[in-house]
Each structure stands twice: as C-alpha cells, then as structure tokens.
Amino acid sequence: MFRHDENAAPTHAQFAMRVAILGGIGIVAFAAIFFRLWFLEVLSGEAYLKEANANRVREIKIQAPRGEILDRAGRVLVENKTVLSLQVRADELPHDKQVRNKELKKLAGVANMSYDKVKQEIRQQTKELPANPVTLQQDVDKDLVYYLRERQDEFPGVTASQVYVREYPNGTLGAQLFGYVSEIGPDQLKEPAYEGLEPGDRIGATGLEAQYDPILRGRNGAIRVQVDASGKPSGRELSRIEPEAGDNLKLTLDEKVQATGESALASSGLPGAFVAMNVRDGSILGMGSAPTFDPSVFTPPVKTDVIKNLTNDEENPLLDRAIQAGYPTGSTFKAVTGSAALEAGLVTPEHTFNDTGSFEYGDYTWRNAGEAANGVVDMVSALRVSSDVFFYDIGRMANDVYDETGQEIIQDWAKQLGFGALTGIDVPGEGAGLVPTPEWRDKLFKEASSPDSCGGKQVLYGVDGCYETDRGWSVGDNMNLAVGQGDLQATPLQLATAYAAIGNGGEVVRPHLGMEAEDPSGAQTQAFEPAPRREVDLSGTTRSTIMEGLREAAMEPGGTSYPTFGGYPVDIAGKTGTAEKTNQEDQSWYAALAPADDPKFVVVFTIERGGFGAEAAAPAACQVLNVLLDVKSQCVAGTSQTR
C-alpha cells in the first residue's frame, strides 16, 4: 500500500494552492486598507480637517451678569458684584497623584489655606457642582493673582477668574421672596426653557429668581482663541461674542414697608409672617417670613454646612410662611363667616343674639374667650367685641342648612374668596391650604393613612404634623370653622386676599410681586398687570355691615384692637384673631383694611406662639400701617382677652 510521507516536500500543485490562498488573503487585506484610507482621506477628510482645526481652538465662556432686582422706586434689592475667585479645574490638574498632591500643597501655602481644606473643597464642590470650577476663595488679593499668573506652569488647572455673584445689599431682607441661583441640573438641560445652556451655567433655583429666570438670566458670550497641543493659548484671539446682561426686574415691593414688616416680626423673636397688599390690584408692597436666613450662603463657594443647618433647623427658616404655611386663622375669619351668613340670608344685619358668655349645645358648653359676657349683640357689635358664641351660633345654623339642603354656606363663600386654592402669586411653592367640608372629613374618616406617619391612625396632615381623626363630620366642626378654628388651613396671603375682596367690593385680586422688566439702560421691556381672578357677588349692605364691624373693632371703645388703634390718626378696619393650637401657646393674628372708608391697603400679620391677637400681631401691623399711611403712632400692645 502507498503511504504518504508527511515529512516529504509538498508537490507543485499543493504549493501553488497555498500561494494562491495566501495571495488572496493579502489582496483582501490590501483592499480593506486601501478603501479605509480612501474613506478617511476622500470621503471624511473634510470632517476630520474641521475636527483637527477645532482641536487647535478653545472657546472660553464669558459669563453674562444677571439682571438686578429692584423695588417699586428703583432701589436695588439684589445685585451683582464682580470678584476675583481663586479656582481650580479638577479635570486640568496633573493625573499623577503625587504630582497633583504636591501642586495642591504648594497652592495651599500661597493661598494661606490648609492642605486638608483645599482637598475637602475640591472633593465636595466637584460632587455637588461637577461642571463648575472649584472655588477656593473669593475676593482674593491681587498680589496672589499676579503670583499665580507669573508661575502658571507650576499651577496647571489653577486660575484666578473674574466672576459675577449675587450680592444682597440689605442682608436677609426678602430672602424667601428673592430665592437664590444654582447650577443647572442634567434634567433641566433637556427642557426647552433652558435651550442653549451648558453644564455649569447658573439659573434661578427658588423664589423670584426662578419665577423670572428667563428675564433675569443674560446670554453668555465667548472668546475663541488658538491653543497649542497642551491646550494653552498660543495665538491671537480668533473671535469674540460679547455677553448680554439680563433685564432688571422691578417689583411692586416697597423697601421701607418690607424692612418695617420684617423688623416687626423679628422683634417678637417668634416664627411668623406678614403681608401688605394693595386691595385694588393685588400688588404686594411687603411680604415676609420669620425666621429668615442670609441668602449669600448660596453664592459660590456654597456654604454647605450652613445650608445643612438651615435645612435641619426646627423653626424652618427656608419656609416662606406667608404663602406656604397653613394655619387656623382664629377670629379674623369671622369677617368671612359674617359676610357668608349675610349673603346667604342666614341672618340680617339686625339679627341679634344674647351673648351670656356661653351656651349649651349637644353635650358641650361653648364659651367666649375669657368667658366674657357681651349681652345682646348684632353683626356689627359681635365683630367689635369678637363674640365667639354669636358666630358659633351662625356655624350651627349653617350646618342645619347643610343637613336640610346640602348647601355649605361658610365653605362655599370661603372658597369664593380664595381659601383652599392657590392665589396665583408669582412666587413658586405656594400652598393651597384647606377649607374643611363634611365630604372631606367623612372621606378622611373612612380612609386609613400611612401607619408609619402617625401610628396607623386616620389623620389630617397639616403644617404642624398630623392629628388623629377618629370621627366623621359633626355640627361642632362647622361651629369651629365659623370662628376660624378646627381643621381650617389658610396662609396669611389667602387671608389678605379675602379681606381685600371685602374691602374693594368683591374683586378677588391676583397677588403679584412683578411690576415690570427693564433693560440695563432702564427702558421698560415688559409690564406685568395680572387680571383679577374673579368677582364675587358682595352686596353693598353686606360690605358696609362687615366694614363697620371691623372699623369699630379697631376704633371704638370695647373693640378688640382699640388699645392699639383708638385715637389712630386714620380710621382703619381691623380684626384680631387668636388661634388655639394643641400643645402650644395661641397664635396671634391681625388683619386690617385702611383707610376704613375707602380701603387702599390690606395688612395681615401672624405670629406663632404670640398669644392674643391684640398683644402681638396688632401692634406689629400698626408699624406697617404707619409707613403705608405716612402717620406716626406708638403702636402699643393691647391686653384684650377676646379673640
């Protein structure tokens, strides 16, 4: 048998086959390389040429200043300042750890900072603001700037840049209103409203800065310069686009009114809020909340430890109590109850009630504050002396109507005046509050809420937490609502809006702070004149009855705020309120319309744990009225034990 010798030389045919296979592989490989080169040189050459040219050009952003925020007279409330900031671009530091640490230690020495502090700031700010340069110091000395520029090769990634930061010439004034700016987030970059912005750009985050960000935010400019292979500028400036400053925002706010209101709140040392508003067009002249905070903590370098303390503060200084905190309003709500009863025909202005200080209903004795007995009272005198039992009885009668017809007299009128809904003010984060109804409470009673929040009990959630709700609606709920107690949750701005509607004859205004936008030269570019939300049917008789009761409460002997406003040079119409709160001292309220004969202004104050309305809120409101009406008064506290 023939055996093939594996060690024998290949035959001519076998050799030829191998050469053909290897040649084919070579041709295919050569063709692939040829076509790849042809693709790169011919088809994609122009694109790669553009990329190569772009790699030799760096675009340097020129930050545009934000517009200023001004009061109604043009006084600056929020502005910009330019500062030299010592900054580090973490992505431009040396990659070698030892070299990088050596540079940072040297930088810490010349900047008079600890090495640990430099490392901490880089780590913390890079985490929070990844696209931004890390700001180590602001307002750095020019000598340090010159030193670093002369030795730039020793400090790669370190710069001293001129930047715009927000400045607050009045310190904490209006902090919750103005809000602050922050770096734009990844999700926001996808939104049409922020088209054209880049990571690291700063936008309005809260308050008016956020609401009017498109107006306040300018348009950044840019410089295109030639750079070498290491990325350092090596040639002339190729092009420049100048930045466009944002427009200024002029507010309806009056700086003096704002300062006076905040000072009055601060003097109590307690949390609270105030609103001063034009009753005819809803323009806010002053609105504040206490405690407050210093908004400069949000300017770079962001003071995260301070912000953390603010966030964890039990008194919550970041909360704007004027529009976000819902409270029972106490007897200031009696003007709402009284006008509801008159408009519905439940009572007439002449309707009387014998106020003996208390009356029995069901299994409970309903009493006046301090068990004061006021004798026979009608609507006007009941408002003057703040007779609780008079309005408890109205709440009872209104509930009887509900039982018979399903009509919710007090609730429907309160909602028409703006309670239980957003006022529409041009500040983000407003709370809607709550007008309690039978349907609401009965539904709440049937539905269990989160066991983790309140031990598995059925609850009402409010600004102060949760309360056990172990029953459905009862007549007592309506009686409590009639005097502004119980489950009612209202903001000071909602109360001011309701009083404004009574004062102006039935127009429910839309509160607003924005008045107009101006370009940097002062020319108006936009005006803000929001239309009223609606008009309610308020008869002249109802209005005059309620207004007279409020006037007598402030100006006549026996009135609950007479100790403060008796003898005041301008007649005002005002009502005290004292809201009882579980496990806390009473909350003090005051709502005023002035002048009483033709109201132009409404002022509302509330002070948590302030006691009776005449003791804390009324004299605070008096201070703001002094400014609005250009009068002088001592604004003494009352000692009335009525609500």
Nearest to 261 by CA among 285, 293, 294, 296: 285
- pLDDT score recorded for residue 212: 98
Give yes or no for a cis peptide into 563 (omega within 30° of 0). no
Kindly state the helix (H) or strand (E) to which residue 493 belongs, with its residue range. helix 492-504
Which of 147, 85, 155, 145 minimizes the C-alpha distance to 121? 85
- What are the two backbone dihedrals, phi and then psi, of residue 607, each rounded to the nearest 5 degrees? -130, 115
Q: Which residues contact 13 (CB under 8 A, 6 or more apart)?
A: none
Please name which of 510, 543, 505 lies closest in space to residue 528, comparing C-alpha atoms. Answer: 510
Q: What is the pTM assigned to this prediction? A: 0.84
Percentage with pLDDT > 70 across the chain: 87
pLDDT tens digits, 486-499: 999 999 999 999 99
What are the structure tokens assigned to 338, written together? 């009284």
Answer yes or no: is pLDDT of 459 > 50. no
Confidence grade of residue 464 (pLDDT, cut at 50, 70, 90): very low
Burial 378-409 (b: 16+ CB within 10 A, else e): bbbbbbbbbbbbbbbbbbbbbbebbeeeeebb
Tell me the C-alpha distance between 193 and 297, whole Å: 26
Cα–Cα–Cα angle for 457, 461, 464, nearest 5°?
A: 110
Chain-centroid distance, C-alpha 361: 44
pLDDT in tens, 77-113: 999 998 888 889 887 899 899 999 999 999 999 888 9
Give the chain's domains with CATH numbers. 58-251 (3.90.1310.10), 255-437+473-524+542-629 (3.40.710.10), 438-472 (no CATH)
Res 46 pLDDT > 80: no
Please tell me which of 83-87, 95-99, 577-581, 627-631 the model is most confident about, judged by mean pLDDT.
627-631
Q: What pLDDT does residue 123 have?
A: 87
Length of the chain: 643
Q: Which residues pair with 359 in a beta bridge?
A: 366
Q: Are the C-beta atoms of 135 and 87 separated by less than 8 Å? A: yes
* Amino acid sitting at position 480: N
What mean pLDDT do residues 28-40 have? 69
| Integer angstrom CA distances of residue 389 from 93, 332, 357, 366, 624 | 75, 15, 7, 7, 32
* Residue 409 reports pLDDT greater than 70: yes
What are residue 534's DSSP bridge partners? 508
| Cα 286 to Cα 256, 280, 449, 630, distances in angstroms | 9, 15, 38, 15
* Host H or E run for residue 534: strand 534-535
Q: What whole-number distance in Å separates Cα of residue 93 and Cα of residue 481?
A: 65
Mean pLDDT of 315-339: 97
Mean pLDDT score, 470-485: 94
Q: What is the pLDDT of residues 161-216, one digit of tens each?
A: 778 889 999 999 999 999 999 888 888 988 999 988 887 788 999 999 999 999 99
**What does the alpha-carbon distance between residue 552 and residue 591 come to, in Å, rounded to a whole number?**
14
**What is the per-residue pLDDT across 500-533, written as a single tens digit (0 to 9) for each?**
999 999 999 999 999 999 999 999 999 999 999 9
Confidence band for 458, pLDDT divided at 50, 70 and 90: very low
Distance CA 214, CA 426 (A): 14
Sign (positive or negative) of CA dihedral 359, 545, 418, 492: negative
Instruction: Tell whether the model's pLDDT for residue 451 goes beyond 60.
Output: no
pLDDT band at 382; cut points 50, 70, 90: very high
Q: Which of 210, 182, 164 minimizes the C-alpha distance to 66?
A: 164
53-57, 150-154, 495-499, 575-579: segment of lowest average pLDDT: 53-57
Task: Name the band, by pLDDT with cuts 50, 70 and 90, for residue 447.
Answer: confident
**Strands 248-251 and 69-70, how do they pair?**
parallel
The one-letter code for the residue type at 17 is M
Taking alpha carbons only, the member of 557, 587, 561 closest to residue 574 is 561
Write the CB contacts of 269 (distance below 8 Å, at least 6 apart in sequence): none
Confidence of residue 39 (pLDDT cuts 50, 70, 90): low
Q: What is the pLDDT of residue 629?
A: 98
Q: For residue 303, is pLDDT > 80?
A: no
Model pLDDT, residue 5:
56
Quick check: 328 and 419 in contact, CB under 8 A? no
Say which range, 119-128, 254-263, 570-579, has the weakest mean pLDDT. Answer: 119-128
- 130: confidence class by pLDDT, cuts 50, 70, 90: low
| Mean of the per-residue pLDDT values of the chain | 88
pLDDT at 412: 98
- Over range 448-455, report the average pLDDT: 50
Which residue is listed with tokens 């609500």? 643
- Mean pLDDT to the nearest integer, 218-224: 86
Of the candidate ranges 35-39, 74-78, 612-616, the one whose mean pLDDT is the lowest: 35-39
